[in-house]
């Protein structure tokens, strides 16, 4: 399982693995409980490889943020997304020191930590973006 197969669905908690295309959308499987469902064609579905975080300079891919958290925690679970906002901000600042404090909200940080923890529990150890050549081959 690769990071490019992991999806976030707006309005749905957790993360999902892409299973197949259906006539009404996509079939996904929850990383938390393994249940399958159909994500409707009109649902906002985003691959984690397409999401990035605002920084003071260039935006940084979410995969890179996950890698920073992984290195910081030694591959263990990160801070819970249910902790106090001050603790979440401090932990996020350690993982991404130059994040844009105006545009990255506590809710974004909570989601980042929650997703990271789901991925670690699912066995992820590498958070890599697909190679440029790899995307081109799949599109052809």
pLDDT tens, residue by residue, 49-64: 999 999 999 999 999 9
In terms of DSSP H, where are the helices of the chain? 62-73, 85-95, 106-121, 132-139
Phi then psi for 129, rounded to 5 degrees? -80, 150
Q: List pLDDT tens digits, range 12-23.
A: 999 999 999 999
Q: Which among 57, 63, 114, 64 is positioned nearest to 88, based on CA atoms?
A: 114
Which pLDDT score, from 0 to 100, does residue 128 have? 82
The whole-number pLDDT of residue 132 equals 56
Predicted structure pTM score: 0.88
SS3 51: coil
The pair of structure tokens assigned to 53 is 């975080």
Distance CA 38, CA 29 (A): 9
């Amino acid at each position: 399982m690769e990071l490019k197969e992991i999806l976030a669905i707006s309005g749905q908690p957790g993360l999902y693995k892409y299973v197949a295309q259906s006539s009404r959308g996509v079939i996904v499987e929850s990383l938390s409980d393994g249940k399958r469902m159909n994500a409707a064609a009109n649902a906002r579905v985003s691959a984690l490889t397409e999401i990035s975080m605002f920084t003071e300079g260039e935006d940084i891919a979410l995969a890179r943020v996950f890698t920073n958290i992984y290195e910081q925690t030694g591959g263990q679970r990160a801070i819970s997304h249910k902790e106090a906002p001050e603790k979440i901000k401090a932990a996020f600042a350690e993982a991404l020191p130059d994040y844009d404090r105006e545009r990255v909200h506590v809710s974004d940080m909570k989601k980042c930590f929650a997703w990271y923890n789901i991925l670690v529990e699912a066995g992820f150890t590498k958070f890599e973006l697909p190679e440029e050549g790899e995307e081109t081959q799949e599109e052809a």
